[in-house]
Amino acid sequence: MQLGILFISLIGPFLYHYGYKVSAAGILESIHSDVHKILGKSGDSRPVNEKYKPAFLANLSHTLSNLKSNQIVKFDSVITNIGKRYSPQTGQFTSPEDGIYMFSWTCLTPPGSRFETRLAINDNYISGNRANAQNINQYVQATKNVVVQMKKGDVATVRVLSYTGLSLYGDGNYFSSFSGFMI
């Protein structure tokens, strides 16, 4: 914007001197129109002030125990939520438009426990993640990354696999998380 004002202040008097009626609003409108034409020729029809692509990061702030089979894991501490498409109340990310999305989720389980999950798009399971520390005396952390195609309105969730949701560790250090973004 400041560059536009500088341009107008430099060229405006020149154009006026040669008999052209000019205004700052007129010049800015002309520049805006030219930018749209250029974007149209490049195959990108999005407006100049394009909305941000959806992206989110939600952590788990407290430990979850004894979750039931297929229960949605609700990562409650939202750090980033561009587009407000992730709900910490439901644990759901809803796709605002068709596209390719990348999701990642990390689960930390304490010694003697396990926590196994799956990423679901709507009710279709896409991929699993297993953090199993049942027979060892240390924390185990597991991370999974997936790339999926979604339609507008599709919902992505992290859900407990069978009866393995014994303990998902969460605290202020945010070792367990769920994130995603549109590519």
133 φ, ψ (degrees, to nearest 5): -120, 25
Does residue 46 belong to any structural domain of this protein? Answer: no
How do residues 73-91 score in pLDDT, each as one tens digit?
999 999 999 999 999 999 9
* 30 and 85 fall within a common domain: no
How far apart are alpha carbons 107 and 129 in whole angstroms? 8
* 79 and 143 fall within a common domain: yes
Letter string b/e over residues 56-92, b meaning 16 or more CB atoms within 10 A of that residue's CB: bbbbbeeebeebeeebbbbbeeeeebebebbbbeebb
How do residues 126-142 score in pLDDT, each as one tens digit?
999 999 999 999 999 99
* 123 and 73 fall within a common domain: yes
* 160 and 70 fall within a common domain: yes
